């Protein structure tokens, strides 16, 4: 029986559009827009200027602190400038390195030949390579992987799980990665385990609606200590706290992180990126993106260079059957609606979804009827409607006491709400305000 967690919802999967679409390499466009902020933490510091010639894989932005990540050129060409350009996460114009592609893909010296002895690379060297390669969590969170691979010394990690659940509707990028690059993913998992001190328990977690991926991964892990865990099809099965509970029975404490219960979770795409960096010397300058939705002519899974405008992906799919009324970066549950198709693909862009008028009906928000459906489905055992109510009336102290910071923003509460309450938006605002208040108080104490 596949494992699971308490709570959650069952939105239509809609994987059929693209799950059988093999990964295709998308030709990079004439101009690429590479944001300096593609990760949680401080934006990278640019180390190139207008007029500079850059090479494929060359570092063009250095980390601006420990919680930051390097940025690399995804083509060879000339820097047009550092300009403000629409960002898919903030929704605002952000500093962006604009590169005119020369079409040569001339590689930087940083891209080294394949290392036959990749298994002999030590833990410190793995972390060093991960940092220089600019690797971040590719499941959407974009937390710098170096930071995640550097838990406190008193936190012993005994379990490393790869997240191949891909529970968001429409998304199939991770599914295709597991089918087409299983060995790279497994090697990345081994490297993660080594970087964390030779964690003894290694696993790959996959929702049961991907039987082909489960079969492939089981076949490629035969004779190893790596176990494949089929998980029940339920959203948000891919959330790390819920995944840990489903597989190990352990609970991440309130306000804590997975290492507080001896666990580490990383996306399968990140594992592949780690092996690409350690084994092949390739920094993170491209990723797989699902392009799907009811109105897309030819859904696809593309290997896309970072900085490619979304419009180029839509064009490569033959456009849409009708004008798009909504474009989402990511999944429909946790993704972000975009104001333009000129935003660029970044390290955390797992999908571009397009919807027409029939699928984007505006629902009127009504008063809460206290039905408690949101409470029943909350995978974090919160009272979403109460937290949202405190946030709505700007009582952020009570919102924090009710556990606002434990919300994973999965959207399950809003999905089942019969009153169409904007629960996630309210709670997200509460979390932002609470963190701002805490930061201000810390500043006062200095």
pLDDT tens-digit series, residues 16-30 = 999 999 999 999 999
Higher pLDDT, 2 or 363: 363
What pLDDT digit, counting tens, does each position of 135-175 carry? 999 998 899 999 999 999 888 999 999 999 999 999 999 99
The model's pTM is 0.95
Residues 385 and 275 in one domain: no
271 and 395 share one domain? no
Residue recorded with tokens 């033959």: 318
Residue 103 is classified by DSSP as: S
Confidence category of residue 404, pLDDT binned at 50, 70, 90: very high
At 408-431, the pLDDT tens digits run 999 999 999 999 999 999 999 999
Do residues 140 and 249 share a domain?
A: yes
Q: How far apart are CA 134 and CA 306, in angstroms?
A: 12
* Residues 262, 133 within the same domain: yes
pLDDT band at 216 (very low <50, low <70, confident <90, very high): very high
Which of 280, 305, 323 is the last residue in one of the domains? 280
Instruction: Look at residue 76 and tell me if it is in a domain.
Output: no
* Structural domain includes residue 275: yes
Give the residue among 180, 187, 131, 144 at the shortest CA–CA distance from 162: 187
**Closest of 382, 177, 400 to residue 267, by C-alpha:** 177
How many domains would you assign to the chain?
2
Structural domain includes residue 230 = yes
Beta bridge partners of 61: 46, 71
* Dist. CA 233–CA 228, nearest whole Å: 15
In a domain, 382, yes or no: yes
- Give the tens place of pLDDT for each residue, 62-115: 999 999 999 999 999 999 999 999 999 999 999 999 999 999 999 998 787 777
User: Is 127 within a domain?
Assistant: yes
Q: Does residue 386 share a domain with residue 254?
A: no
- Domain shared by 123 and 272, yes or no: yes
**Same domain as 266, residue 124:** yes
For CA atoms 335, 339, 340, 343, give the dihedral sign: negative
**114 within some domain:** no
Domain that holds residue 377: 373-445
Could you tell me how many residues make up the chain?
A: 446
215: domain CATH number is 3.40.50.11540
The yes-or-no verdict on residue 3 having pLDDT over 70 is: no
221 inside domain: yes
Q: pLDDT band for position 2 (50/70/90)?
A: low
Please check whether residue 419 is in contact with residue 365, taking contact to mean a CB–CB distance below 8 angstroms. Answer: yes
Task: Say if 255 falls within a structural domain.
Answer: yes
Query: Is the same domain home to 131 and 245?
Result: yes
């Amino acid at each position: 029986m596949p494992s699971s967690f308490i709570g959650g919802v069952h939105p239509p999967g809609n994987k059929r559009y693209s799950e059988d679409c093999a990964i295709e390499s998308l030709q990079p466009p004439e101009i690429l827009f590479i944001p300096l902020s593609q990760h949680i933490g401080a934006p990278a510091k640019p180390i190139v200027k207008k007029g500079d010639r850059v090479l494929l894989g060359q570092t063009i932005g250095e980390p601006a602190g420990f919680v930051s990540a390097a940025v690399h050129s995804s083509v060879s060409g000339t820097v047009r400038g550092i300009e403000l350009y629409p960002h898919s996460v903030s929704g605002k114009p952000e500093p962006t390195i604009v590169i005119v592609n020369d079409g040569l893909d001339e590689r930087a010296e940083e891209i080294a030949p394949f290392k036959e002895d990749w298994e002999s690379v030590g833990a410190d060297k793995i972390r060093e390579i991960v940092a220089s390669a600019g690797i971040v969590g590719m499941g959407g969170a974009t937390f710098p992987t170096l930071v995640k691979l550097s838990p406190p010394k008193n936190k012993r990690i005994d379990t490393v799980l790869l997240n191949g659940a891909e529970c968001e509707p429409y998304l199939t990028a991770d599914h295709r990665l597991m089918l087409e690059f299983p060995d790279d993913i497994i090697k990345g998992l081994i490297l993660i385990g080594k970087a964390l001190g030779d964690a003894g328990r290694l696993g790959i977690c996959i929702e049961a609606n991907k039987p082909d991926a489960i079969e492939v991964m089981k076949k490629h892990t035969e004779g190893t200590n790596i176990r494949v865990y089929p998980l029940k099809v339920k959203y948000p099965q891919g959330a790390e706290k819920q995944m840990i509970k489903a597989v190990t029975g352990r609970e991440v404490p309130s306000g804590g992180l997975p290492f507080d219960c001896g666990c580490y979770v990383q996306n399968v795409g990140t594992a592949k990126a780690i092996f690409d960096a350690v084994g092949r010397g390739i920094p993170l300058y491209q990723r797989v993106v699902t392009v799907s939705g009811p109105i897309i002519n030819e859904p696809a899974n593309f290997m896309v260079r970072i900085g490619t405008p979304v419009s180029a992906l839509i064009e490569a799919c033959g456009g849409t059957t009708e004008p798009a009324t909504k474009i989402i970066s990511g999944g429909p549950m946790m993704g972000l609606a975009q104001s333009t198709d000129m935003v660029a693909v970044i390290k955390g862009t797992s999908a571009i979804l397009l919807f027409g008028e029939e699928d984007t009906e505006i629902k009127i928000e009504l008063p809460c009827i206290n039905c408690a459906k949101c409470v029943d489905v909350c995978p974090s055992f919160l009272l979403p409607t109460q937290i949202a109510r405190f946030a709505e009336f700007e009582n952020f102290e009570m919102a924090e006491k009710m556990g606002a910071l434990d919300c994973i923003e999965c959207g399950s509460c809003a999905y089942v709400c019969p009153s169409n309450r904007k629960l996630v938006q309210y709670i997200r605002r509460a979390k932002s305000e609470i963190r701002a208040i805490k930061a201000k108080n810390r500043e006062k104490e200095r």
